[in-house]
Structure 1
């Protein structure tokens, strides 16, 4: 029952597989919300999952108006047995403050509880909106992780990368470098909750994307042994007006720390993007990673936006 004058909330549609029409609706809703908020409401892993309708097990939750228009969506990923389920959600900008966000989070909690007996759930809030924080607190979540988006103009001067000893840079070779890259990526991000667990399938899904360019996937190798020491994988976004480059993944093997490879690889990747005519670069970094934040700040990056991960259980 609803109070007088309060519209009834729509029923939550739950499915393990989106129809092509659902995919179109979700992507359209994401564009609308992103344009209104100034930040993308869904992360790359969710968009890859939606676009391919497969991969890790997930639940899709949808809210529709009586006329069938999609006004709310939540993606609940159930694959991570270590950290537990995680979710992202969005509500149409004109339908907010009506209880739809709470309804989606509550449904996501129920979906997560079906596979995780402890009731754990992590929810990403892109843009760090006060309303999201208030809802999370009210539902028993705590602020657990902060992801910074930083940006830098590529029109400002960039020095030459300085490589020590017999270290050289070359482009990634699809098929030949896959295994070595995955090994170094796992070592470089051993404590990272997502990046360090990438599999060959995670790598190949991204290499199949239209934006993938091996020339912008730079590897630092030991000239005497050929061993991979570090990498800077760049990406170019063409869906945000003017193209913008990204420091997509930057990592250094722990055994190669102290050689200045983090700085050299960052500069080399930025110079590559500048050479493609890109005028601005972005990156994501955990706020708690003080060393990385300091490196990027020294190289001219500044804080642009914030994403927050809320945890329950």
Structure 2
């Protein structure tokens, strides 16, 4: 369906209700941006209660037919009534949601999400950790200058193509981040949280080439006390510039920027199997605070025959 303005308003209320009930967003930033864009590419499915109120919403991202991504959530008052199961089964019956090429995100890995994934026979595919550096973690290490490199803020309207090029090389392995476009950057520049001063670029002094960047973000809520919280939004280093300490220097530069704005509590998201990045963040007093899990619809055509069927576990 193509959401009407009334649908979009109702979905916005649902998103807020789920966030407050669970303490975590059930939908990613990319999905919420797609919802807010009239020309968004996502497909939507809503479930309404008998009184007409919105009971559930699912977003299906079919931009990459070989990696269809589903995110869904149920209103707190409509849970434990089979709504999520019915919605998920309807989605899995969609021809676009093909076995082996579709996955479902469970943000925060709530108990109900794990139960639903098990009932549907979905396989655990990826883990994304949200790590948090508490406000009382102590002073940050001193910043680390890199010889021959200057770190300075983004020049809006000029630097975006360079950022996207470096991002594509740095995250060529990442199914979401590596696909970022100039339009994606400019779309986020229109968001209330965007701050060019907190988008830090590292350039080679001799050539002016962009070597890496640290894009910070501030959420209006999310800190332990309910106030604003900073985020290490994206840190990317060109593979050709690795080994010079740029990742650490950019991370610290961004953390110092956030601290200078009064945001000592900071979160970030990192792939659980990225051992090097996790070790770096642990040294900076970050600890795992929540887990997002991607469950994949198994490719039954390639599954071995015989044995016990675990789809109902």
TM-score in terms of structure 1 length: 0.90
User: For 1:104, which of 87, 96, 99 is the aligned residue?
Assistant: 87
Indicate the residue corresponding to 2:26 in structure 1.
Answer: 41
Verify: 1:180 aligned to 2:162, yes or no.
Answer: yes
Equivalent-residue separation in structure 2 for 1:175 and 1:55 (angstroms):
23
Equivalent-residue separation in structure 2 for 1:47 and 1:191 (angstroms):
24
Residues 1:252 and 1:154: Cα distance change in structure 2 (over 3 Å): farther
Verify: 1:124 aligned to 2:105, yes or no.
Answer: yes
Equivalent-residue separation in structure 1 for 2:134 and 2:151 (angstroms):
23
Residues 1:167 and 1:154: Cα distance change in structure 2 (over 3 Å): farther
Structure with higher RCO (Cα < 8 A, 6+ apart): 2
Which deviates more, 43-52 or 125-134? 125-134
Q: Secondary structure in 1 aligned to 2:93?
A: helix
Verify: 1:147 aligned to 2:128, yes or no.
Answer: yes
Is the contact between residue 42 and residue 89 of structure 1 (CA under 8 Å) also seen in structure 2?
yes
User: For 1:242, which of 221, 227, 242 is the aligned residue?
Assistant: 227
What stretches of structure 2 of length at least 5 have no aligned partner? 300-313
Equivalent-residue separation in structure 2 for 1:26 and 1:97 (angstroms):
20
Is the contact between residue 144 and residue 252 of structure 2 (CA under 8 Å) also seen in structure 1?
no
Indicate the residue corresponding to 2:73 in structure 1.
Answer: 90
Verify: 1:63 aligned to 2:47, yes or no.
Answer: yes
Shift in Å, 1:137: 2.0
Shift in Å, 1:102: 0.7
Shift in Å, 1:192: 0.5
Verify: 1:286 aligned to 2:267, yes or no.
Answer: no
What stretches of structure 1 of length at least 5 have no aligned partner? 1-14
Indicate the residue corresponding to 1:214 in structure 2.
Answer: 196
Shift in Å, 1:231: 0.5
Equivalent-residue separation in structure 2 for 1:281 and 1:55 (angstroms):
30
Is the contact between residue 163 and residue 260 of structure 1 (CA under 8 Å) also seen in structure 2?
no
Shift in Å, 1:282: 0.5
RMSD of aligned C-alpha atoms? 1.5
TM-score in terms of structure 2 length: 0.90
Indicate the residue corresponding to 1:270 in structure 2.
Answer: 255
